[in-house]
Each structure stands twice: as C-alpha cells, then as structure tokens.
Amino acid sequence: MTAPTERGHPEPAPTGRDHLVTPPTERAGPTTTPTSQAHPTTTPTSQAHPVTTPAERAPETRLIHGCMGLGGAWDRTPHTAEDVDRAQAAVEAALECGITVFDHADIYRFGKSEAVFGEVLARTPGLRERITLQTKCGIRLAEGERPGRYELRAGSIVRRVEESLARLRTNVIDTLLLHRPDPLTGPDEIAGALHELHRQGLVRRFGVSNMSAAQIAHLQARLELPLTVNQLEMSLARRDWVEAGVLVNTSAATANGFPEGTVEHCVDQGIQLQAWGALAQGRYTGDAGHADSPAAELLRRLARAKGTTPETVLLWWLARHPAGVVPVIGTSRPDRIRACRDAALHAPDLTHEEWYELWIAARGTPLP
C-alpha cells in the first residue's frame, strides 16, 4: 500500500489491542479514567487564556522528528521486531542531533508508529524523561464502505487519547493536537473533552493542526487552557503561508488559498508554528524529479559555501522567518536525519538576501 501524505491519510482501523501491552485502565497515574460518554462542556469565560505565557508554551526547539515513517507498512498487518529496531535507530539518530521532540498521530501506520515508539521507550530506561511526546487525533481512516472522515466528538477524543497512551506506554501526552477541523462538532464539546483530559493529568498541553486563525480563536474562546501549537504544511515548495503576505492588492491574491492572518495570529498569541512537510518530500534534496531545478542548485551552492547540507539550508529557510517556524522532519532514515543535524543544533545561517534568493528561485517568477 502506498504511504499516504499528511493531506489525505488512509485512516486507521480500530486499533488491534493484541499489541497494546498496557491497557488504558491499568496505566499508572490518574485513577479516574475518562469514559467515552464524558461530554463536559464549557462556556466562554473571562478566564479564557488568549495568549500563552512562557511557562505554558510548547517547548522551545529548533527541530522536531515526525514519526509517520515508523512502524512498517501502511496497512493493518502487525508490526515486526525489525520495525522496532528501525524505529530505535531513527530515535537514536534524532537524539544524536539534539532532537528531543517527537511528533505522532494516532493514525500513522494504523497506530503502528506509536506502538513501535512505545516499545523503544520500554527498552530504553530513562528515555521518556528526556523527550517531549506530541500526538494528534481527529482523523478516522476509511474502513470498508465507510469513508475517511474527521471526528472531534468528546468521546472520540478521549478514546483516541487512551489508545495513544497505551500504544506509547506512557502515562501522559505532553502535547495533544487536533489533527484537522471537524465541522460537525461544536467548540464547546471539544473544549469540554480537552479540559477533562487536562484535569485528569492525561495531557499537559493542547494545540491544533491545519487550522486557520478564525478556527483557533473560535475554539480558544471556550478554553481555559491556551492552545500552544498550530502545525501546518510549510516548506520552500509549499510557500502560500509566506506568499499571502506579499500578494495583498495583486490579482494573484485570489489564487492563494492560505487563510489570511493565520501566521500573524499565531505569533501574537504565542502559538508555536510547526511546519509539517518541511523537507518538501525530497523535492529539492532527493530523487523527486527537481534535482536540477534552480532552487535545488542554489541549495547545493549555499550548502557548500556554509559547510553544511542542502537539507539544513532548506530547513534554515523556514526557521529564518520571524514567526519562529519549527520544522518537522518526517524521514525515518538515520542518514537523512543526520543530514539535518546543523538545523537542529545551530541558528539559521542565511542572510536576508540569501533567503529571498531561495524564495524567488523556488517560485520561478519575480516578486510582485
């Protein structure tokens, strides 16, 4: 089965519990287990937190390792011991590079990404205390005649968190992201589920993925907890987030689908912007058919001049933006992870002019 992209995952079947070593009800930690019937609701109050404080924000980091590539095939076959070994190698490579934030989703490899990571944690004493675990819920994969869909009903959020905790073999998720908006579930119901998970100590922080400024504000108005992350597709290839800021008052503005004001809203509210697809699926650095493009050649030239790799320069282009974008790298290959080492360890080494040169080379036309 072809691995899906973040835009349209095939959605996991209900997770097979034969590989869940610790059922949610037997976890150490909070004694009260939320049930799928829990639908606490909240109303907007004057105590809502529209802006995060430094203590509430997502951990500062230059790079995040995305774990979508771990766990074997994108199907419902059980993961293997070799899959766990490969996951261990990827985690060790990330740690060598100074990466300590690991990004998951309940649907990645039909739950197997979380499961193999949980086995890595179990076989590596002390590792859990050294890292930040982030996962997502809210997408249901297609199953039989039932189509893939989005689901943020309170009971579903709680169940997915319980299952992720069991697969990851941990007592708490550091950051839970709502993977995509569910237009059929109201913000009061969603907020109630998040408050309950936080109250029981099962989730420390919350954020969103693939949401606009308006959607974030709509949910935040019902929350007593701050939303700390918005994860969006952002890269040198997917530039609409930065193009939107310069296409104002041009005829090209209508063709840009990026929601207006989203980057600015996140910066103003102290919400960390995370970039999934940051390496552009190898478009400029791999074998994706653009190795001879002007942007790819410029990346190689800049990398040689700076004594680093094209992957690092590509990630620096994102991190150089004043919004403080944190790239998520999704490769599971240790060599590709190590190619990003300088981006994890050092501040972006790109001048103002070099940043613009890369942007213009990638867009293929001058700025308006």
Asked if residues 64 and 274 have their Cβ atoms less than 8 Å apart, the reply is: yes
- Give Cα 220 to chain centroid, integer Å: 19
Asked if residues 274 and 175 have their Cβ atoms less than 8 Å apart, the reply is: no
Asked if residues 327 and 64 have their Cβ atoms less than 8 Å apart, the reply is: yes
**Cβ of 251: how many Cβ atoms within 10 Å?**
8
Tell me the H-state helices in the chain: 81-96, 112-123, 127-130, 154-168, 187-199, 213-220, 240-243, 262-268, 294-306, 310-319, 334-338, 341-345, 352-363
Asked if residues 277 and 325 have their Cβ atoms less than 8 Å apart, the reply is: no
Alpha-carbon distance 57 to 295, whole Å? 34
Cross-strand pairs, 149: 140
Asked if residues 324 and 275 have their Cβ atoms less than 8 Å apart, the reply is: no
Dig out the tokens for 228 from the structure.
Answer: 């700390």
Catalogue the active-site residues.
Answer: 108
Alpha-carbon distance 167 to 133, whole Å? 12
Tell me the helices (H) and strands (E) count for the chain, helix number first.
13, 10
Beta strands 326-329 and 272-276 are parallel
